[in-house]
Amino acid sequence: MAAHLIAGPVSGQPHSLDLGDRTGDTEALTAVADALEGLRHSERRLVGPLRLTCRNRSLTLPELRAIGGRLERQGLRLVEVQASAPDTLVAAAALGLVTSWPEPVVAPRGSDENAPPELTILRRTLRSGDQVSSMGSVLVLGDVNPGAMVSAAGHVLVWGRLRGKAHAGKNGDRRARITALQLRPLQLRIADVVARGPDDDPPPGLAEQAVLVGREIRIEAASPLWPLAN
Amino acid sequence: MTSANARLILICSGKGGVGKTTLTANLGIALARQGESVAVLDADFGLRNLDLLLGLENRIIYTAQDVLAGTCRLEQALVRHKQQPTLSLLPAGNPRMLEWITPDDMRRIAALLAEQFRFVLIDCPAGIEDGFRNAAAAAEEAIVVTTPEVSAVRDADRVIGLLNSMGVKPVQLVLNRVRPEMMANQEMLSVTDVTDILALPLLGLVQEDKQVIVSTNKGEPLTLGEPSTPAGCAYQNVARRLRGDAVPIVDPSTERRGLRSRLRKLMTTRIF
């Protein structure tokens, strides 16, 4: 996974630069340079404080200082380092930066090192006006009727008819999917993408799932694999 | 709190104008004609009109609120029906005293009625606010009335969810104002469309019937006379099913098609 930069949600709040997993042993500085290079094509110029997410990379003090210098030239100021490797944290602390561990909550992007999120099981039909929200995945054993809404940070699974609204990956997990025995929702949302439900009649006896492909939600025959298994 | 065999039945819909009060009045009369002792309680304190439908408006002296306040005994407030004396109405109180009513008040009234009557039908106001919650607090089971329209079904669904969370059981469904020809042409939600969403046992199907309007305005429920109209028969069947009789439900949209095809067959054989 390549490094990527996310702008701060509110001006004044730090932007976030994720170095990504340590694949192919790209050097951290190269990863940062790549991410900044990618920025040149966007119209918005990012300046101000920045939080660096190092994941399991172990960075030495000179490496971190070099990254800080590279960011400085771009107008970005390194203020915080988030890492799971102890030596990176020690180096960051030595530079006088704020240090933190990765959040215990399941990070978006459903990366493999995170355990599958916990599952909420609802053994009832969600009727109009009912709203269910979960930080993990949701399995509804029953229908989701028009007017009801089920949202989850993980997957939304309906053993029944989904005719209300469903939002999977509400915290930004683009790999989250919505599966139902009969998928005819009023509206579907996966991560930040919204789609109207299909108008035509569902194929009889075929469970379907909605997944995010690029920027659009696609409906296809449900995968026989249990999505929460590794 | 209640006598062992009294049935406290809430008649509700969520949406207004789908026929709660009409069903309450007709069901009350039909049950009384079938030999039951019935009380109908108007829980629509703001916009009461159950008394109008039963033709009892001019006989009201005391109301439920007088009973609660202790100004009169329950027997004084109950209004017996002219033709069906086994049916009594407990009228709703003064709309200006709305804020007096609490769920506990409704439970007290219902308990009083349950001592004397086999069936207590509670006519619920539209909406899901305090009026609904008060009425539902007193009920043990419920009949949800809906029409084959998207908005009515949506509201009914919401109400069913609330009833479930309040522990009212069983909840049964009456589908009102059915137009068989529109259903057959798929211009209206079909019976299965509605039952698919609401997932409730169907207690009755009532056809759209002009006579309902006539009877409402006269204050004489259809079930008072020998039922000759489709709606009158349907209400009577709802009453019988409620008492436990196994009366089969026929879907008029499919039955009609059967009849028409039979007629056509008959005509073709006559001609040739």
Tens digits of residue pLDDT in B223-255: 998 878 899 999 999 999 999 999 999 887 776
3-class DSSP assignment, residue A220? strand
- Residue pair B54/B221 in contact (Cβ under 8 Å)? The answer is yes
Q: pLDDT averaged over consecutive 10-residue blocks of chain A (230 residues)?
A: 68 78 70 77 74 83 88 86 84 84 52 61 93 93 94 95 95 94 94 90 86 93 79
Residue in chain A lying closest to B14 (CA): A128
Q: Give pLDDT, residue A105.
A: 45
Cβ of B158 and A125 within 8 Å? Answer: no
Q: Give pLDDT, residue A110.
A: 45
Q: What whole-number distance in Å separates Cα of residue B28 and Cα of residue B120?
A: 9
Quick one: pLDDT band at residue B261, thresholds 50, 70, 90? low
Cβ of B158 and A127 within 8 Å? Answer: yes
Residues of B in contact with A145 (CB under 8 A): 157, 197
Cβ of A143 and B199 within 8 Å? Answer: yes
Cβ of B161 and A127 within 8 Å? Answer: yes
Q: What is the pTM of this model?
A: 0.68
Interface residues from chain B to A (CB-CB < 8 Å): 154-155, 157-158, 160-161, 164, 196-197, 199
Q: Cα separations (Å) of A161 from A126, A165, B188, B202?
A: 10, 11, 21, 20
Q: Which residue has the tokens 């219902």?
A: B110
Mutation target vs A (from B157, B160, B168; most A CBs, 10 A cutoff): B157
CB nearest B154 (choices: A124, A128, A143): A128
Q: What is the mean pLDDT of chain B?
A: 89
Tokens of A129: 């006006």
Q: Give pLDDT, residue A75.
A: 84
Compute the C-alpha angle B88/B89/B90, nearest 5°.
Answer: 125
Q: What whole-number distance in Å separates Cα of residue A16 and Cα of residue A34?
A: 15
CB nearest B157 (choices: A124, A127, A161): A127
Residue in chain A lying closest to B163 (CA): A127
Mutation target vs B (from A145, A162, A181, A201; most B CBs, 10 A cutoff): A145
Tell me: the pLDDT tens digits for B122-142?
A: 999 999 998 899 999 999 999
Residue in chain A lying closest to B194 (CA): A145
Residue in chain A lying closest to B161 (CA): A127
Tell me the helices (H) and strands (E) count for chain A, helix number first: 3, 16
Q: Give pLDDT, residue B77.
A: 93
Tell me: the pLDDT tens digits for B7-31?
A: 999 999 999 999 999 999 999 999 9
Separation of CA A113 from chain center: 13
Q: Give pLDDT, residue A107.
A: 43
Q: Give pLDDT, residue A152.
A: 95
Q: Give pLDDT, residue B136.
A: 95
Cβ of B161 and A130 within 8 Å? Answer: yes
Mutation target vs A (from B151, B193, B197; most A CBs, 10 A cutoff): B197
Q: Give pLDDT, residue A53.
A: 84
**Strands ordered across the beta sheet of A48-55:** A4-6, A15-18, A48-55, A76-83, A98-100
Q: What whole-number distance in Å separates Cα of residue A5 and Cα of residue B11?
A: 58
CB nearest A128 (choices: B158, B164, B199): B158
Residue in chain A lying closest to B155 (CA): A128
Question: Who contacts A185 (Cβ-Cβ below 8 Å, separation ≥6)?
Answer: A144, A162, A163, A164, A165, A166, A178, A197
Cβ of B158 and A129 within 8 Å? Answer: yes
Q: What is the mean pLDDT of residues B27-51?
A: 92
Alpha helices (H) along chain B: 20-33, 50-54, 64-69, 74-77, 103-116, 130-137, 150-166, 180-184, 191-198, 210-218, 230-242, 252-271
Smallest CA–CA distance, residue A181 to chain B, in Å, is 14
Low-confidence winner among A44-53, B34-43, B215-224, B258-267 (lowest mean pLDDT): B258-267
